[in-house]
Structure 1
Amino acid sequence: MATIKDVAKLAGVSTTTVSHVLNNTRFVAKETQERVYAAVQSLNYAPSAVARSLKVNQTRTLGLLVTSSSNPFFAEVVQGVEAECFKEGYSLLLCTIEGDRQKLRHYLTTLVAKRIDGLLIMCTEYDPLLFSLLESYESLPQVIMDWGPSNEFMDKIQDNSAQGGYLATQYLIDQGHTDIGCVTGPMEKLPSQQRFAGFQSAMDKAKLPINPNWVIAGDFEAISGEQAFNIIWSSAKRPTAMFVGNDVMAMGMICAAYKQGVRVPETLSVIGYDDIPMAEYFIPPLTSISQPKRDLGKLAVTTIVDKIQCKRKKGKTLLLEPSLSIRYSVSRRK
């Protein structure tokens, strides 16, 4: 295997000159550059990525820590991250924790040991251990997606969930619905709190009462959407429309309605949140609040690259605005 010394000897220059040509760290005459490149090609020389990373203190590698991968929402975000990493010339190391704290410690230690240039975190819930460990690596550029603690060094990219909850509920109101319920996500999670706050804001603005029997906390899984429907439909008074905190729960609710012979949207209108790919192909196609998932992944990468290149220490918070994807799971109230 050829070495940098072999290239220097063939090109008739010093190893330092070869290094400056390959790393573009100093001006070198064009004729000299051509001799170096010709020697590289002739010897099929491949610079050591490890040696280069030690020299320039960069590995051109990012880590992505995902706390949960079961929701289809995250797959699109990861695709956006990977595509933008490739575009920016970075490799990506993906680690999923799935609530396992032993894996969390292991993966975080491994990523740091591999000398990643920056760390992206796709966070679905607050874990004191996770954020305590992240704070111990304060010098490592970090960008957290979804939500996390407020601190001075970490960048955060968040969905404007309050606005999304408002848009969903206002659309139901615009379609003539006044008896509207809500299935939230786990209320200890900030996105769930914000989406419910948006629901409350739209109802208050329209001067519509909120029936507490129609507000149920789910867990972002399909089974909780099914359970919520069963609870609500056993009530003497029933809503005509439901804002459900994510698409997976909304699909669980629609399936439960189908089993009991309740027609969606003729009898019950349902709107979800996230606009996951299968929402368009569900029966009926699900009206949903769309988050720009690939844009979220792209923005996370461009933000951390900016942080790395500019050596920016102070963190910042960026908001992504949701939009409404209208399909067929909501009907106009006559």
Structure 2
Amino acid sequence: MATIKDVAKRAQVSISTVSHVLNGTRFVSEDACKKVYEAVAALNYKPSAVARSLKTNKTRTIGMLTASNTNPFFAEVIHGVESTCYERGYHLVLCNSDGDLDKQQSYLRTLEEKRIDGLLVMSAHNDPAFFQALNERCAEPMVILDCQVPNIHADVIMEDAEAGGYEATRHLINSGHTEIACISGPKHLSPSSSRYAGYQRALAESNITVNPEWVLEGQLTAESGFQAVITMLRNTLPPSALFVGNDLMAMGAICALQSSGYKVPEDISVMGYDNIELASFTSPPMTTMHQPKRELGQLAADTLLNRIENPKIEPTIRTLRSTLVERQSVKILLAKPSIDKVRDISRCQTSLINSEP
């Protein structure tokens, strides 16, 4: 493998001249530049990133800890991060923890060993011990996505989840619904608990009492949304509408309703959250809250790279807003449905469910 010394010898220039030409760190004559580039091409020379990082103390590499790159929401955020890194000449090392705290700790050590220039964290846990360790061990600039952590020296990029949950529920109320169930994500996650708080606020403003049997918790997966709906239908009368904490759970909820004999939105309306690409291809196409996922990733990456280049900038908290996307899964009620009709449908469907083996 050719070295910088080989290039200098073939181009008949000094090693420092080769370095200045390749790194653009000093003016070099056109003739000398031409000789260096010809030598590089002839020898198929590849500069050593390791050697460069030892000299400059920069690797032009950032790490990202994420909960799951298979979830469409995370995938779109990661796409935004990666595109920004590419545009600005940085490499991205992605570590998928699957929500496992031990894996997060292990990946953090690996990223430290790789001498990353900065770190993005999109964790599935609000574990104080993890973030405390992160704060103590990670000397590199850091940006936390979609989670506000107290007493940590880092920039934060997050969605106003409480406002999003409020707007989603208000849309259901404005459509004539007063019997509104909620399937939230795990409430130990701040986005999930904030969306649920928005749901509560919207109901309280309209003097609608929260029915505790209509409040369920899923795990942000389609399967958990499906199971939550089946549990609700077995235990109580159905609501007229469901607010679901993310689109994957909403997809599972729609499947459970339809498999139990209910029509969406004719019998029960469903409101999702995130506006992942698949939301427009459900049957019916899903009304949901659009999170600016790629913009979130792009802003997080830009914020981190700006901090790497200007480390004295004070940490900031930036908040993005979600917007309503109306499709066909929410029915507009012209009048409140007869409670007798709802009970008749419920008895029929409950009988169907309980008759399953």
TM-score (norm 1): 0.92
Partner of 2:32: 32
Q: Which amino acid aligns with 1:219?
A: Q
Partner of 1:262: 262
Partner of 1:217: 217
Q: Tell me if structure 1 keeps the 8 A contact 2:131–2:152.
A: no
Render the CA deviation track for 1:118-177: whole Å, top value 9, x for unaligned. Answer: 111121221334313311234211112121422352111111111111111111122111
Cα distance, 1:330–1:314 mapped onto 2, change above 3 Å: same
Q: Which amino acid aligns with 2:133?
A: L
The alignment of Structure 1 onto Structure 2 pairs a total of residues equal to 334
Q: Aligned to 1:50, what secondary structure does the other structure show?
A: helix
Q: Distance in 2 between matches of 1:56 and 1:308?
A: 13
Deviation at 1:69, TM superposition (A): 3.8
Q: Tell me if structure 1 keeps the 8 A contact 2:148–2:158.
A: no
Q: Tell me if structure 1 keeps the 8 A contact 2:99–2:124.
A: no
Q: How does 1:237-248 map to 2 (within 5 A)?
A: 237-248=237-248
Q: Which amino acid aligns with 2:83?
A: A
Q: Aligned to 1:106, what secondary structure does the other structure show?
A: helix
Partner of 1:84: 84
| Worse overlay, 65-74 or 254-263 | 65-74
Q: Give identity over the alignment, percent.
A: 49
Q: Tell me if structure 2 keeps the 8 A contact 1:271–1:287.
A: yes
| Worse overlay, 285-294 or 180-189 | 180-189
Unaligned runs of 5+ in 2: 335-357
TM-score (norm 2): 0.86
Cα distance, 1:51–1:238 mapped onto 2, change above 3 Å: same
Deviation at 1:271, TM superposition (A): 0.2
Unaligned runs of 5+ in 1: none
Q: Distance in 2 between matches of 1:276 and 1:200?
A: 24
Over the aligned positions, Cα root-mean-square deviation in angstroms equals 2.1
Q: Aligned to 1:157, what secondary structure does the other structure show?
A: strand
Partner of 1:118: 118
Deviation at 1:28, TM superposition (A): 2.9
Partner of 1:7: 7
Q: Tell me if structure 1 keeps the 8 A contact 2:183–2:225.
A: yes
Q: How does 1:182-221 map to 2 (within 5 A)?
A: 182-221=182-221
Q: Aligned to 1:274, what secondary structure does the other structure show?
A: coil
Q: How does 1:87-106 map to 2 (within 5 A)?
A: 87-106=87-106
Q: Tell me if structure 1 keeps the 8 A contact 2:157–2:317.
A: yes
Partner of 2:303: 303
| Worse overlay, 163-172 or 75-84 | 75-84
| Worse overlay, 49-58 or 150-159 | 150-159
Q: Aligned to 2:104, what secondary structure does the other structure show?
A: helix
Render the CA deviation track for 1:89-124: whole Å, top value 9, x for unaligned. Answer: 112211111243443333211111111111111212
Q: Distance in 1 between matches of 2:25 and 2:209?
A: 67
Q: Aligned to 2:28, what secondary structure does the other structure show?
A: coil
Deviation at 1:215, TM superposition (A): 2.0
Q: Distance in 2 between matches of 1:87 and 1:326?
A: 34
